[in-house]
């Protein structure tokens, strides 16, 4: 994570595809594509509407999903990296989908959202025969 930056944003070269599940979405939002992606990252990782007393610096730095690529103004494509540590690898596809496609389709800030693609790192793939 770059110092001084929003915890939910990263540069493309800061994302290791072998340490993250990368989800690519098509989004439409009056907030703009980058901010729509940021809202997905917040909702699907460590975001909450209230202060959580047990949140640590490790949680914030390690478990926050990050928007690292986007294209478009109010509609377009956005990529979000979800740290592998967010997932219970033994729980398989249900756990994966709960994180990359859970509550985001109900976000009022998005007019439209579609999950287009998922990149799975080798660590995730290795739990499947």
Over residues 16-41, the pLDDT tens digits come to 999 999 999 999 999 999 999 999 99
Residue 49 has a pLDDT of 63
How many domains does the chain fold into? Answer: 1
How far is Cα 107 from Cα 105, in angstroms, rounded to an integer?
6
Q: How far is CA 44 from CA 28, 37, 41, 73, 82, in A?
A: 17, 10, 5, 22, 9
Structural domain boundaries enclosing 62: 12-125
Q: What CATH number did the domain enclosing 35 receive?
A: 3.30.70.150
- 3-state class of 21 per DSSP? strand
Taking 70 as the threshold, does the pLDDT of residue 1 lie above it? no
As a whole number, the mean pLDDT across the chain is 89
Taking 80 as the threshold, does the pLDDT of residue 125 lie above it? yes
Residue 34 lies in a domain: yes
Taking 90 as the threshold, does the pLDDT of residue 100 lie above it? yes
Look up residue 15 and give its DSSP letter. Answer: -
Residue 28 lies in a domain: yes
Residue 6 lies in a domain: no
């Amino acid at each position: 994570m770059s110092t001084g930056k929003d915890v939910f944003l990263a540069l493309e070269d800061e994302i290791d595809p072998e340490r993250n599940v990368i989800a690519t979405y098509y989004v439409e939002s009056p907030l703009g594509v980058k901010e729509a992606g940021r809202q997905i990252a917040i909702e699907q990782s460590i975001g909450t509407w209230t202060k959580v007393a047990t949140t640590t610096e490790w949680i914030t730095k390690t478990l926050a999903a990050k928007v690292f690529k986007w294209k478009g103004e109010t509609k377009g494509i956005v990529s979000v990296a979800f740290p592998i540590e967010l997932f219970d690898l033994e729980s398989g596809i249900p756990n994966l989908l709960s994180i990359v496609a859970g509550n985001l389709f109900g976000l009022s800030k998005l007019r439209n959202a579609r999950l287009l693609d998922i990149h799975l790192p080798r660590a995730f793939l290795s739990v499947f025969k």
